[in-house]
Amino acid sequence: MDALWVRISYNIEKRLKNEEERIMAIFKGAGVAIVTPMNEDMSVNYEKLEELVEYHVNNGTDAIIICGTTGEAATLTHEEHLDTIKACVQYAKKRIPVIAGTGSNCTETAIYLSQKAEEYGADGLLVVSPYYNKATQEGLVKHFTAIAESVSLPIILYNVPSRTGCNILPATVAKLFKNVENIVGIKEASGNISQVAQVMNLTDGKIDLYSGNDDQIVPVLSLGGIGVISVLSNVAPKETHDIVAKYLAGDVHGSLELQLKYLKTIDGLFSEVNPIPVKRALNMMGMNVGTLRMPLSEMSDDKAAVLEAEMKKVGILK
C-alpha cells in the first residue's frame, strides 16, 4: 500500500510539474521577425546580423525569431538556414530568447532543421503549416506531431493561410495543444479574429497566443494573447514592445494609442510583399541590410515614398 501511494504521489507531482513548466511561455512581449541581411554578392551578412541582434537586445525586443518569412528563409539553402540560426544564437548569448523558424512542406526536412536548431541552442521553434501541398487537418496533426516528437524544444505553430494556402483550424490547434506536450503556442496570422477567439475557447485560454499581424496586436491581446511576432519591431523595437507591455500591465488605453499611432506605418510595411518594404525601411534608417533575393524585387519608388513619409511622421526617421 505504501508503494502504491508513493507511485500515486510521484505521478501527481510529475503532472503538476509538467503543468507548471507548460505555463512558462518562451517569451511575452514583442518578438522581432528579424530580416536576414545580405552582402552585395547576395551572401548572408553575418557581421550585420550581429549588429541587428545587438540593436534589438539594447532596444527592448523580447525575443528574436530567426529564419522566418521576414528572414527570407524560403530563399536560403539548408546550410545557410542552419548557419544563420547558429550565428543568431551565438550573438544573442542567451540575453533574449532565439526562436528558430524550422518549418517546411516536407516533414522530414522540418524535423532535420528542428533537430539542428535544438543542437545549436535555440530556445524554441516556430513551425509554419506545410505550404503548397496543402495537407488535410489530419495530415497537419501528423506533421506537427512528428516534428514535436523529434525534439524537446517548445514549439509555436504558425498559421498564415494567405501564404501557405492551408489554414490550421481551431479544433486542430486544440488537438495538438492538448495532446503534444511541447506544442505550447501559436502565431496567428490568419487575420480572422473570430478564428483566434475560437482557438482560445477550445484551448481554455491556455495556449500561448501571439499576433502574427502588427495591426491586430491589441485585439489579439484582448483575447488572451501574450505578445506579437512582429515585422514592425525591425524598425520600432521599443515602441512595439511597449504596445504589449502597456496592455499586459493594465494600461489598455496607452497600448491602444501606440497601436493606432503606428497603423499607417504598418500599412506601409505591408504595402508590398513582406519583407520587401521592411528591408527598404531599414536601409532608409541607415542599417544597410542589403537587398532581397529573387524572386523578390526592390520596392517601387512611389510606395517607398509613402512609407518614408509615414516613418517620419511617427519619428522613426528624422
**308 lies in some domain:** no
Q: Would you call 279 a catalytic residue per the annotation?
A: no
Inter-residue contact 259 to 216 (CB < 8 Å):
no
pTM of the model: 0.91
Q: Return the bridge partners of 159, or none.
A: 188
Give me the average pLDDT of each 10-residue run along the chain (318 residues). 40 43 79 98 98 98 98 96 98 98 97 98 97 95 98 98 95 98 98 98 98 98 98 98 98 98 98 98 98 96 98 96
The whole-angstrom separation of Cα 46 and Cα 38 is 8
Q: How far apart are CA 258 and CA 267, in angstroms?
A: 14
User: Is residue 304 assigned to a domain?
Assistant: no
Q: Judge whether 152 and 122 are in contact, CB under 8 Å.
A: no
* CA atoms lying within 13 Å on the CB side of residue 34: 34
- 158 is an active site residue: yes
In this prediction, residue 318 carries a pLDDT of: 87
Per the domain annotation, does 64 fall within a domain? yes
Is residue 153 a contact partner of residue 124, using CB atoms and an 8 Å limit?
Answer: yes
CATH of the domain at 236: 3.20.20.70
Annotated catalytic residue, options 46, 91, 158, 262: 158
Query: Is 256 contained in some domain?
Result: no
Task: Please tell me the total count of domains within the chain.
Answer: 1
Decide: residue 94, CB within 10 A, 0-12 exposed, 13-18 middle, 19+ buried: exposed
DSSP string, the chain: -HHHHHHHHHHHHHHHHHHHHHHS-S--EEEEE----B-TTSSB-HHHHHHHHHHHHTTT--EEEESSTTTTGGGS-HHHHHHHHHHHHHHHTTSS-EEEE---SSHHHHHHHHHHHHHHT-SEEEEEPPPSS---HHHHHHHHHHHHHT--S-EEEEE-HHHHS----HHHHHHHHHH-TTEEEEEE-S--HHHHHHHHHHTTT-SEEEES-GGGHHHHHHTT--EEEESGGGT-HHHHHHHHHHHHTT-HHHHHHHHHHTHHHHHHHTSSSTTHHHHHHHHHTT-------TT--PPPHHHHHHHHHHHHHTTS--
Q: Which residues contact residue 145 at a Cβ distance below 8 angstroms, ignoring those fewer than 6 apart? A: 176, 179, 180
Predicted pLDDT at 4 = 38
Domain span at 95 = 26-251
Q: Looking at the domain assignment, is residue 193 inside a domain?
A: yes
Contacts for 141 with CB less than 8 Å, ≥ 6 apart = 172, 175, 176
How many Å separate Cα 250 from the centre of its chain? 24
Tell me the three cell numbers of residue 191: 487575420
15 domain residue, yes or no = no
Domain presence at residue 153: yes
Choice among 48, 86, 187, 279 that is catalytic = 187
Q: 12 in a domain, yes or no?
A: no
